[in-house]
Amino acid sequence: MPKYNLDNPEVVTYLLEAVQYWIEYFDIDGLRLDTADCLCPNFMKALRKKTNTLKSDFWLMGEVVHGDYRDWVSEEQLHSVTNYEIFKGLYSSHNDQNLFEIAHSLKREFDSTSGIYRYFMPYNFVDNHDQNRLASLVDESAYLYTIYILMFTIPGIPSIYYGSEWGIKGAKEIHSDLGIRPYINIDHVIPEERDLEKVIRKLSLIRKETPALKVGTYKQLAIEYQKPFIFQRQFDNTTVIVVINATPHDHFVNLAPYCNRSVHDILNDQPLHLNDLQNLKINSNWGRILSFANPF
């Protein structure tokens, strides 16, 4: 009896033919591969080669919980994998009121000179069909806003799990995932955080219209305990500085060391002059996204 696994050429042929059918019949544009850490490199290479011939922009994303993402992402294998390190750091750093955790992960992964994943974009998320809803993970609902600001401004591909744009809660139960995968009647939904969907819509548009946030380099500028976290994204002729205040208190920051010109705060729709940047107010549990026309 043959061994039916991914080392068996008949199994591989069958799977690749199935993918070809889905592309040709249903016109799908990508695949999410469950437990991709169990896939052998040869199969991923065969899948990438096959899909490239069928659709040049076909996207392959794998679920990987642990390990070095470079083992699965390459020009010959997958395009991206789930970024569980960032997922955990986004909410736990807020609960602990210690953004050093997420700052460390971002620098380790994306720093423009030393980041181990700076050459590709992992799939970033704050909840999904296997994890408790973000609104059930955070200690304070106000954290939802700065977490989403972060997710849409850091390197990677941001994703929204259905219903979480309304701040709904949900937790896994023993032998059941129904709590995190509910049926939602949009006509009857009552948002638990009424402004959250509006904020997410705006963040999505900002990212879409700002190349530096999509493909720009990442550089940490400032991180102090219970003070705003500041980082920079840069691409071509655009520089963006992001300031995150995840504390319950307003803070004032001096951005003059990082810039020398007037800017526009694209999150708060506010033009800022050089004098404003020397003592810039960052509201509690909120942030600023400052866009510069030219790099500095």
Question: Which of 171, 190, 214 delimits the end of a domain?
Answer: 214
- Domain assignment present for residue 103? The answer is yes
Span 64-93, mean pLDDT? 97
The pTM of the full predicted model, rounded to 2 decimals, is: 0.94
Closest CA to 269 of 167, 177, 199, 187: 199
Range with the poorest average pLDDT among 1-5, 126-130, 176-180: 1-5
Residue 1 lies in a domain: no
pLDDT, residue 245, reads 98
The rounded distance, in Å, linking the Cα atoms of 96 and 98 is: 5
CB atoms within 10 A of CB 188: 6
Residue 88 belongs to domain spanning: 9-214
Q: Domain count of the chain?
A: 2
φ, ψ for residue 81 (rounded to 5)?
-140, 165
* 235 and 129 belong to one structural domain: no
Residues 289, 294, 295: CA angle, nearest 5 degrees: 80
Residue 2 has pLDDT above 60, yes or no: no
Boundary (domain end) residue, out of 197, 214, 231 = 214
Chain mean position to CA 111: 15
User: Residue 4: is its pLDDT beyond 60?
Assistant: no
Among the listed ranges 12-21, 78-87, 237-246, 286-295, which one has the minimum average pLDDT value? 286-295
pLDDT at 238: 87
Cα–Cα distance, 244 to 228 (Å, whole number): 5
- Domain co-membership, 18 together with 163: yes
| Mutual angle of helices 143-153 and 196-209, in 10-degree steps | 10
Q: Does 4 map to a domain?
A: no
* 246: pLDDT strictly greater than 80: yes
Which element (helix H / strand E) includes 291?
strand 286-292
Q: Do residues 117 and 159 share a domain?
A: yes
- Residues 262, 145 share a domain: no
Q: What's the chain's average pLDDT?
A: 94
* 39 and 55 housed in the same domain: yes
Q: Which residues contact 47 (CB under 8 A, 6 or more apart)?
A: 15, 16, 19, 60
In terms of domains, do 132 and 210 share one? Answer: yes
Residues 70 and 14 reside in one and the same domain: yes
Q: Are residue 13 and residue 142 in the same domain, yes or no? A: yes
Q: Can you spell out the DSSP letters for 102-136?
A: HHHHHHHHHBTTT-TTTTS--EE-S--TTS--HHH
| 109 plus 210 within the same structural domain | yes
**CATH number for position 231:** 2.60.40.1180
> Do 149 and 258 belong together in one domain?
no
pLDDT of residue 208: 97
Q: What is the average pLDDT across 249-266?
A: 91
Nearest Cα to Cα of residue 232 among 252, 249, 255, 262: 255
CATH number at residue 14: 3.20.20.80
Give per-residue pLDDT as tens, 17-73: 999 999 999 999 999 999 999 999 999 999 999 999 999 999 999 999 999 999 999
Return phi, psi of residue 60, to 5°.
Answer: -120, 120
pLDDT band at 186 (very low <50, low <70, confident <90, very high): confident
Q: Which of 58, 54, 3 is nearest to 24 (CA)?
A: 54
Mean pLDDT calculated for residue range 61-90: 97
Give the whole-number percent of the chain exceeding pLDDT 90: 88
Please, which pLDDT band fits residue 295 given cuts at 50, 70 and 90? very low
Residue 3 lies in a domain: no
